[in-house]
Every structure is written in structure tokens, then in C-alpha cells.
């Protein structure tokens, strides 16, 4: 089994890179995010590799980090998620973003990936919620504020700011994330109005 490849980028395809390792060209399938960041043709690259052996083929999947590879493996434990869908998810969300989306039960964020419908997105966030902490860091304030009951224990200015964003049409996980970022930027003593304005700026990014 191949666990890592270090070589020179020979060429690119739509969803793969050919990595020249001492004269041998390995076809390695990658997420769009990985392809965008590993460098150009002729440059050196190192990829963490997941090898999948099937009856009719041996496929190599490449990742910029072991953490990204771990997410690729973990995602495929969910029924309906194969290699293609796992790569699609990692194309739109970094490991930390994926961890945050699952921690907040943000089905909309997960559902943006190609091949992920509403039912599959719901299954992914539900099944991986308890397994997620080992694979990525989630802002505990965001996860806490995403729950209806836990919002009640937050400062009133935070409660009111989240409610205001929800009333404007934003989903609670989005509102919680935006206000959490606002508190980090402005401080815990910030007033509701300031939190709302900063929250809207965060959502517009």
C-alpha cells in the first residue's frame, strides 16, 4: 500500500495530478482544493496517499495533509458517501470548516457539495457529530450557541443579536457563527447593535 508520494508534478487533469516519482508517473485523484494549492507543473510536491484496491483497478487519492486524508476515510463510513462524494466535500470545505459544519449540524454547508442532497447532508452531520472532534477543531462557542437551549445561557446581548439575525432570515448555525466571530472581534462587553452590525459583516464575507 502507498501512504505517501514525493515527486515532481508532471501534469494536471480535471480531478487528478500525475506525480513523477523517479521516472514513474502516478495518477493521483485529488479534491479541487488540493489541486489548487499543491503547485504548478515542474514543481515538487508531497501528497499523503490513500490507496483503494478494487477488483478492476487500483486508485490513488492524494491529500495535502494526513488530517484531510483522515476526513476522506471518515466520510466514507457514511452510507451513500463514496470516494467521489468525499472528494466533492473536501473540494468546498477544508477539514476545519467541515468539522465546524458538522459540529453546528449545518446541513446547508455540507449540502453545497456536488452529489450531496438534503437527505445525505442530514445523514452526514448526524452520523459524524460524535466522531468529528478527533478530526478537526471546532470553535466551542459556535457549537454551543448553535443550540437553542444553550443560547439562553449566553449574555443577553448575544441572545438578542442571534435572534435578530435569525429574524432576518439566517439559519441559527449561521447566526451563531457570525455572532461568535463578532464577540471575538469586539469583546464580550459589546452591545447588541454592534454585534448585529459586525455579524452582518461576517455573513457578507
Residue 182 is predicted with a pLDDT of 85
**Pick from 24-38, 55-69, 92-106, 143-157: least confident:** 143-157
On the 0-12 / 13-18 / 19+ scale of CB atoms within 10 A, 110 is: buried
**Pick from 47-51, 56-60, 140-144: least confident:** 140-144
Local structure of residue 94 (DSSP, 8 states): -
**Pick from 20-24, 26-30, 138-142, 169-173: least confident:** 138-142
Q: Are residues 150 and 94 in the same domain?
A: no
Domain boundary among 92, 111, 134: 134
Q: Are residues 35 and 51 in the same domain?
A: yes
Domain boundary among 118, 134, 150: 134
Instruction: Quote the number of domains for the chain.
Output: 3
Q: Are residues 197 and 154 in the same domain?
A: yes
User: Average pLDDT, stretch 196-203?
Assistant: 87
Q: Which of 153, 154, 125 is nearest to 179 (CA)?
A: 154
Q: Are residues 78 and 35 in the same domain?
A: no
Q: Are residues 78 and 129 in the same domain?
A: yes
Tell me: the pLDDT tens digits for 152-177? 557 788 888 888 988 888 777 677 77
Residue 86 is predicted with a pLDDT of 96
Domain span including residue 19: 4-63
| Banded pLDDT at 133 (limits 50, 70, 90) | very low
d(CA 80, CA 116): 9
Domain boundary among 95, 116, 134: 134
Cα torsion angle, 147, 151, 154, 157, sign? positive
Q: Are residues 59 and 70 in the same domain?
A: no
CATH number at residue 12: 2.40.50.140
CATH number at residue 125: 1.10.150.20
Q: Are residues 94 and 126 in the same domain?
A: yes
- List, in sequence order, every residue forming a beta bridge with 18; answer none if it has no partner: 11, 27
Cell numbers representing residue 142 in the block: 459556535
Q: Which of 51, 112, 38, 120 is nearest to 80 (CA)?
A: 120
Q: Are residues 146 and 180 in the same domain?
A: yes
Residue 55 is predicted with a pLDDT of 83
Q: Is the pLDDT of residue 135 over 70?
A: no
Q: Are residues 126 and 150 in the same domain?
A: no
Q: How far is CA 57 from CA 25, 54, 63, 86, 126, in A?
A: 16, 5, 20, 19, 32
Residue 57 is predicted with a pLDDT of 86
Amino acid at each position: 500500500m502507498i501512504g505517501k508520494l514525493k515527486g515532481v508534478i508532471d501534469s494536471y487533469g480535471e480531478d487528478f495530478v500525475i506525480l513523477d516519482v523517479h521516472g514513474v508517473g502516478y495518477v493521483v485523484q485529488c479534491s479541487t482544493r488540493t489541486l489548487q494549492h499543491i503547485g504548478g507543473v515542474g514543481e515538487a510536491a508531497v501528497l499523503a496517499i490513500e490507496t483503494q484496491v478494487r477488483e478492476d483497478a487500483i486508485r490513488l487519492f492524494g491529500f495535502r495533509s494526513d488530517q484531510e486524508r483522515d476526513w476522506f476515510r471518515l466520510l466514507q463510513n457514511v452510507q451513500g458517501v463514496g470516494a467521489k462524494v468525499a472528494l466533492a466535500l473536501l473540494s468546498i470545505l477544508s477539514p476545519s470548516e467541515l468539522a465546524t459544519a458538522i459540529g453546528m449540524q449545518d446541513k446547508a454547508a455540507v449540502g453545497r457539495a456536488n452529489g450531496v442532497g438534503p437527505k445525505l447532508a442530514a445523514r452526514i452531520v448526524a452520523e459524524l457529530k460524535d466522531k468529528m472532534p478527533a478530526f478537526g477543531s471546532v470553535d466551542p462557542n459556535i457549537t454551543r450557541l448553535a443550540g437553542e437551549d444553550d443560547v439562553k445561557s449566553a449574555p443577553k446581548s448575544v441572545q438578542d443579536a442571534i435572534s435578530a439575525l435569525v429574524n432576518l432570515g439566517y439559519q441559527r448555525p449561521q447566526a451563531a457563527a457570525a455572532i461568535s466571530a463578532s464577540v471575538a472581534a469586539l469583546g464580550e462587553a459589546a452591545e447588541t447593535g454592534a454585534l448585529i452590525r459586525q455579524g452582518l459583516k461576517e455573513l457578507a464575507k
